[in-house]
Amino acid sequence: MFQYRRGHAIDSPMPFSALGLSEPLLRAIADQGYNEPTPVQAAVIPAILRGEDVWASAQTGSGKTAAFVLPILQRLSTAPRVRGRFVRALVLAPTRELAAQTADSILACSRFLPVPIRTMAIFGGVSINPQMMDLGGGADVIVATPGRLLDLIDHNAVSLSAVSSLVLDEADRMLDLGFSDEVNRVITLLPARRQNLLFSATFPAAVHRLAAVLLHHPLRIDIPVEPATKPDILQRAIEVDPLRRTQLLRHLIQENQWPRVLVFVATKYATEHVAEKLRKAGINALALHGELSQGARTRVLADFKSSKIPVLLATDLAARGLDIVELPVVVNFDLPRSAADYTHRIGRTGRAGQSGLAINFISAGTHAHFRLIEKRHHLDLPREQISGFEPVEIELPAPPSTGGIKGKRKSKKDKLREAAGLPPTTPSPLSTPSSRRSANPAEPIVEPGELFPWRPSQTSVRRPR
């Protein structure tokens, strides 16, 4: 049976120096403007420094990346290097953007270490040849998406036989994207003795199965969302007809003069379509979706983070892992498909103690879905209407369900007879099974569970089973 030990969040504030981190790492932390560790950092860092396996969950924007980056860097800085095409620490990430951001965090935190830590971000969408050349001398840390990592292994560009620390970041997202086979293959290529760290925002059954295979008597750390640490995000629900959402979005951007807005839509086509309409209205907007080349995605994100582009239209590709400093507004142009994705979308704003605004566009066809999202997250948002954009379409009541009761819907045979102008068929007493047939043909037959006795002139109506 899979067993783990339950860890606890540390409520009292403490400095980073109390966690056992080295002076160069403390200097890098201070240089980035951080004074106290977040709850997940205070709980996870000492456990990783002790060499324990960790299974951790925490809310979006909780400082999870630094929680594993800092102690891994400290362990690497005191351990001997291995010559050749080897890697000492491996971080698996579900998306290119998250891999690149994690690599940037490692570089920022290791800048004052006496021995440079060689870090590489490995992902698809770019040529594999430069990555193979860069791996010629090995690396201390590789942050990789599973598919491209396996491609490099197949080309004998890197070996995982010297990995001492494995991190699965956003494990739920990785499995959602269909990387389970790739992750399992990577695990088989690792040495038996290693430290395993699993981070996930949610823990569905697939993540539990992965944890049971991967982790050895881990320390389980769940950081609850306390009122003091809950992101300061104002959530609004605005009713608008689907065809007027782009006009309303343009109106809100111009009226509120938002410096940057991240807008979530459902499809790649919608990102391009809405972005083009905004550009025609004089608002500089770009699209971010999975079919862009890696170079284009990198440029789009860089322009958005630097405020060169004030509006970014994105699919759920951007819902996980992106850390955009001081993003004031997120708009759900299309609602997310799942209630869990709602948290990850709006969590792009209100990070690192900043306040944020999350706006949801609600139309007649999405009221029921948004009520489900509200129920899952214990929300009850008032419905707003913006002057000049009041919806015309109304939410229709759900049609009454027949519950699958036989006799309520016409059979295919009756439909054909009706089309031909013939009367519908009526069941014959001879069609009743002999075990239930009455000895008296005039006596009605009552089947178990029937609402009414059957008669040749009546339609059979039974309870749903």
Mean pLDDT of 70-98: 92
Rg (C-alpha) for the chain, rounded Å, is 29
CA distance 212 to 163: 20
Is position 78 within any domain? yes
- Looking at the structure, do residues 24 and 135 belong to the same domain, yes or no? yes
pTM for the full predicted model: 0.66
Residue 412 has what pLDDT?
65
Sole residue written with tokens 């704003």: 349
Q: How many domains does the chain have?
A: 2
Domain C-terminal end among 222, 252, 285: 222
pLDDT digits (tens, 9 = 90+) for 47-56: 999 999 999 9
Residue 334, token pair as written in the block: 């299309």
- Looking at the structure, do residues 109 and 236 belong to the same domain, yes or no? no
Please check the confidence at residue 419 and state whether its pLDDT lies above 70.
Answer: no
Do 174 and 144 form a contact (C-beta atoms < 8 A)?
A: no
- Selection from 65, 138, 67 nearest residue 97 by Cα: 65
Is position 67 within any domain? yes
Residue 311's CATH number: 3.40.50.300
Please check the confidence at residue 128 and state whether its pLDDT lies above 50.
Answer: yes
Q: Which residues contact 68 (CB under 8 A, 6 or more apart)?
A: 44, 48, 54, 91, 167, 169, 197, 199
Alpha-helical segments (H) within 90-204? 96-109, 128-134, 146-154, 171-176, 180-188
Please check the confidence at residue 273 and state whether its pLDDT lies above 90.
Answer: yes
Confidence tier at 402 by pLDDT (50, 70, 90): low
- Looking at the structure, do residues 274 and 193 belong to the same domain, yes or no? no
Q: Which range of residues forms the domain containing residue 51?
A: 5-222
Q: What is the DSSP secondary structure assignment for residue 139, as one 8-state letter?
A: E
Do 177 and 94 form a contact (C-beta atoms < 8 A)?
A: yes
Mean pLDDT of 354-365: 93
Mean pLDDT of 275-286: 96
Mean pLDDT of 141-162: 96
Mean pLDDT of 242-247: 96
Q: What is the dihedral of CA 393, 266, 383, 352, to 10 degrees?
A: -170
Residue 458 has what pLDDT?
41
- Looking at the structure, do residues 305 and 209 belong to the same domain, yes or no? no
Mean pLDDT of 95-107: 91
- Looking at the structure, do residues 247 and 284 belong to the same domain, yes or no? yes
Please check the confidence at residue 37 and state whether its pLDDT lies above 50.
Answer: yes
Please state, rounded to an integer, the average pLDDT across all residues of the chain: 83
Segment (H or E) for 91: strand 87-92
CA distance 286 to 81: 44
Residue 227 has what pLDDT?
45
pLDDT digits (tens, 9 = 90+) for 334-351: 999 888 788 888 888 887
- Looking at the structure, do residues 262 and 297 belong to the same domain, yes or no? yes
